[in-house]
Amino acid sequence: MATDTEMEKTQDELGSDDLTSVFGTEDVRPHDEGLRLKNDFLPWHRPVKQLVRKEQWAALAVRLVKDSKLSKLRYLTLPGADMFDVRVIAETCAQEGCKVEYLGFDSSRSGERGVDQLAAATANAAQRDTAESVLRQTGLVTDSSITLNDFLEDIAVSGSQACAILRNFGHFDIVNIDACDHLAVEPVGERPGLFSAVKEVFSHQRGRHSPWLLYVTTRVSPDRLGGPKEEFVDAIKRNLDLPTDVFRNAFAEAMGVSADDVEDVVSDGWAIHDDRLLKLFSIGLGKYLLQLAHGHYGDPAKVELASCYCYRVHEGSADMLALAFRITPTAKRIAQPTIGGGVLNLPLLEPVLAARVANKVVKLVDLDRELAEQPDLAEGALAATLKLLEVANYNLDEYREWLEKNERPTPTSVVRSAVTPLSIVDG
């Protein structure tokens, strides 16, 4: 019998494109990946993230479900392979007889290059499949809920597959941009940035008649602020320039400066990584979104900052923001003519709403400090996290070891700590 090498000498070469188009891709994922007990722990496995899920995401979700009498909560998410956000929200909503129908974007598979990345991405997808199936079989989510292997950013590209699916899905009750990275970072290449996706979400939600929620979790650091920062600055300045001081005063109080010094904060406050940066970012984003929604004459809406938390992932000082906005469509406005014949850009209500965003930021809650100061809270967060990890097939012993080895940095933040036990303080 001819050896493989001898046979190959007489054979015709097939291009790799031809090979792929006939045979598909080779299996690169280890076959047992996605089945074995997991032990790859990541920042969102810390108990502090559970506080965001439970106290912010789930608590606001269930309030929306009750207020709007929803039997199905339509949810746009960026889920990890564990689907923890979906589970926590869905379990809470289930108590009100409401199922979650989600559309997820998981870019871990998209754009992979080498064999290692492909293996990791397919393993991730396999784990996600199981987590999705468990949620579905348990009856927490609808059968039509699905996670796509696409970047959320792609919804901002006209004609993209992601955009087509988003449009076909209809409006959402909650949009959760759990970025884990920087919302305001400048995009690289042709693909738009995450901030463009947020804008696209607002465009997609137009025409909606009932309130909806936008959750934004993002890292904030001075060296990762791109174009969006300029838009935040512009949005803040537009209100500072108005004849009324309602926003100026609220902004000054939130930033802990006098009303005369706010311009300096707006121009210089972005350079230093401290709590003022987090507040500035929160107000800038909130003010920008308010302008975006409120300024739309066809489908105006008001934007409120419903909850704002911060915590630590990489730095000694808080570097993650968890913000929740409530967007409430309002009655269509009749354009008011001005002297020049144009239209008033900022109706008088807007600065008042913007001031409320700033007032809310004063109450920014440092979750790490809450955990350090409230043992019961910490214990509850750990227990809930362990339960999630168990359902998701993690090795709990190894998790406890990991948690001990990777102790949290002591909070150095001077952010105000909540005096009372943590609860949603909703303006």
Q: Which region, judged by CB under 8 A, interacts with another protein, from 15-23, 45-53, 307-315, 354-362?
A: 15-23
DSSP summary character for residue 357: H
Instruction: Give whole-number Cα distances, 195 to 154, 184, 267, 289, 358, in Å.
Output: 11, 6, 21, 11, 21
Q: Which region, judged by CB under 8 A, interacts with another protein, from 54-62, 119-127, 217-225, 372-380?
A: 119-127
The residues in 186-225 that bind another protein, with binding defined as CB under 8 A, are 188-191
Residue from the set 8, 71, 111, 379 that interacts with another protein by CB under 8 A: 111
User: In terms of CB distance, is 56 or 145 closer to another protein?
Assistant: 145
Are 219 and 319 within 8 A, CB to CB?
yes
Q: Residues with Cβ < 8 Å from 3, sequence gap 6 or more?
A: none
* Centroid of chain to Cα 242: 31
Query: Minimal distance in Å, beta carbon 139 to another protein?
Result: 6
Question: What is the enclosing helix (H) or strand (E) of 310?
Answer: strand 301-311
Question: What is the enclosing helix (H) or strand (E) of 90?
Answer: helix 84-94
Q: Which region, judged by CB under 8 A, interacts with another protein, from 31-39, 42-50, 65-73, 285-293?
A: 31-39
Query: Minimal distance in Å, beta carbon 4 to another protein?
Result: 8
| Nearest Cα residue to 61 out of 37, 30, 94, 31 | 94
How is residue 424 written in tokens? Answer: 């949603």
Query: Minimal distance in Å, beta carbon 292 to another protein?
Result: 23
DSSP secondary structure letters along 102-136: EEEE-TTSTT--SHHHHHHHHHHHHHHHHHHHHHH
DSSP summary character for residue 421: S
Residue from the set 6, 22, 209, 405 that interacts with another protein by CB under 8 A: 22
d(CA 33, CA 120) in angstroms, rounded, equals: 9
Residue from the set 72, 136, 224, 273 that interacts with another protein by CB under 8 A: 136
User: In terms of CB distance, is 23 or 97 closer to another protein?
Assistant: 23
H-state helical runs in 316-411: 349-361, 367-373, 375-391, 396-405
Q: Which region, judged by CB under 8 A, interacts with another protein, from 105-113, 244-252, 305-313, 402-410?
A: 105-113
Q: Residues with Cβ < 8 Å from 337, sequence gap 6 or more?
A: 343
User: In terms of CB distance, is 89 or 324 closer to another protein?
Assistant: 89
137: contact with another protein by CB under 8 A: yes
The C-alpha angle with vertex 274 and arms to 273 and 280, in degrees rounded to 5, equals 95
Query: Minimal distance in Å, beta carbon 157 to another protein?
Result: 5
Q: Which region, judged by CB under 8 A, interacts with another protein, from 66-74, 80-88, 131-139, 177-185?
A: 131-139
115: contact with another protein by CB under 8 A: no
Residue from the set 14, 25, 338, 348 that interacts with another protein by CB under 8 A: 25
Residue from the set 168, 340, 376, 420 that interacts with another protein by CB under 8 A: 168
Query: Minimal distance in Å, beta carbon 207 to another protein?
Result: 11
77: contact with another protein by CB under 8 A: no
Are 62 and 92 within 8 A, CB to CB?
yes
Query: Minimal distance in Å, beta carbon 143 to another protein?
Result: 4
DSSP summary character for residue 213: E
Identify each DSSP E strand in 166-242 by its residue range: 174-182, 212-219
| Nearest Cα residue to 50 out of 105, 87, 78 | 87
Residue from the set 43, 169, 226, 372 that interacts with another protein by CB under 8 A: 169
167: contact with another protein by CB under 8 A: yes
The residues in 347-406 that bind another protein, with binding defined as CB under 8 A, are 390-391, 393
d(CA 93, CA 100) in angstroms, rounded, equals: 8
For another protein (CB under 8 A), the number of binding residues is 54
User: In terms of CB distance, is 94 or 240 closer to another protein?
Assistant: 94
Q: Which residues bind another protein (CB under 8 A)?
A: 1, 20-25, 27, 31-32, 34-36, 110-111, 113, 122, 125-126, 129-130, 132-134, 136-139, 143-144, 146, 148-151, 153-154, 157, 159-162, 164, 167-170, 188-191, 390-391, 393
